[in-house]
Amino acid sequence: MRFKIPLICIILTLLSCAGFAQDKVVLQTEDRWKLEALYNPAENGKYVILLHDLGRRKEDFPSFSKALSRAGFGYLSVDLRGHGRSTNINIQKNFKKTGADNEFNQMKRDVDAAIAYLKAKGVAESDIFILGAGLGANVAAKSLPFHPRIGGVVLLTPALKTRDVLSMSGIKTFKGPVFIGVSSTDRKQFMEASFIRNAAYLASGKGKVTFMTAYNLKGVDMLDRYLTQEVLQWLKTPQLPEILPDSVSAEEDYGGESFGEAVTGMTMGDVLKSLD
């Protein structure tokens, strides 16, 4: 009898962890990078590819990945090339910081490999979402022209340019739902995210763009502290134009000014100069 309580505790612990079981898998990119990733199957058939920030790794999303699992979503959290346990001949500290073909821009192929992995498991591209933080957000945006039929994209603290990975070209072509989260206290960051939001609005139309601010945090910290429930709800219903139309129109609400100009008083030319 004296062993019953410990045994029950062990059983309850195992049951409580069962919903968060995840497997380590290896993805192969077209240019021969081996990427390590954490995979958890979905109950509702929908998956989120998680892309970490510069210098971080796939384990950066512990709270959010558990929230995804509880909500029935699957996920694939990827060590981007040169990060974590993803291997080839180099690490991100040695990558060139500039150039349209540097390794940071080649991370688009990491997203290709992640999507190919899920599609090989029978997941429809429309049931795949991408969530990126910081550098991961720019990589996600850059990947959009190559995967226009994905379910949607979440960009947390995106920039116009990070390590020469540009976000605008991809956003301007994507017609699917977009969620953007940004700190309201970092003026430059907020301004850049506002321009990205404008481009997304013009490409996608009303009801497909969600723009949310968090007071003082960035990336995954912002997601964990402020936006987890909002992102989960968005993943369930990323487009509701008949109920929640996008309320900010650059032409109608700001007299021809862009949202970024109206809020910050800065033009796109000011932004580009600040990036030089």
Does the pLDDT at position 172 exceed 50?
Answer: yes
pLDDT of 138 reads: 98
pLDDT of 209 reads: 95
Q: N- to C-terminal Cα distance for the chain? A: 72
Domain boundaries, the chain: 21-247
CB 271 within 8 A of CB 160: yes
Mean pLDDT value across the chain? 85
pLDDT of 90 reads: 79
CA distances from 172 to 26, 72, 168, 264 (A): 32, 31, 6, 22
Does the pLDDT at position 10 exceed 80?
Answer: no
- The CA angle 10-13-14, to the nearest 5 degrees, is 90
Does the pLDDT at position 143 exceed 60?
Answer: yes
The Cα 196–Cα 274 span in angstroms is 16
pLDDT of 205 reads: 84
| Closest of 267, 61, 76, 80 to residue 162, by C-alpha | 80
| Block residue for tokens 């992995």 | 117
pLDDT of 5 reads: 41
The Cα 191–Cα 196 span in angstroms is 9
For residue 122, name the pLDDT band (cuts at 50, 70, 90): very high
Residue-wise pLDDT tens digits, 40-72 = 999 999 999 999 999 999 999 999 999 999 999
Chain-centre distance for alpha carbon 103? 19
CATH 3.40.50.1820 fits 21-247, yes or no: yes
β partners of residue 188: none
Q: Is 1 helix (H, G, I), strand (E, B) or coil?
A: coil
Residue-wise pLDDT tens digits, 179-234 = 999 999 999 999 999 999 999 999 998 789 999 998 889 999 999 999 999 999 99
| Block residue for tokens 């540097």 | 102
pLDDT of 63 reads: 97
83 token code pair? 């990060």
β partners of residue 129: 48, 152
**What is the phi/psi pair of residue 174, to 5°?**
-85, 130
For residue 4, name the pLDDT band (cuts at 50, 70, 90): very low
Q: Which residue has the higher pLDDT, 67 or 246?
A: 67
CB 130 within 8 A of CB 143: yes
For residue 133, name the pLDDT band (cuts at 50, 70, 90): very high
Residue-wise pLDDT tens digits, 13-47 = 333 344 457 999 999 999 999 999 999 999 999 99
Alpha helices, DSSP H, located in 85-227: 108-120, 135-143, 168-171, 187-204, 219-222
| Block residue for tokens 């134009």 | 241
The Cα 214–Cα 230 span in angstroms is 12
Q: Could you give the count of Cα atoms lying within 13 Å of 21 in the half-sphere of its Cβ? A: 9
pLDDT of 214 reads: 87
pLDDT of 111 reads: 98
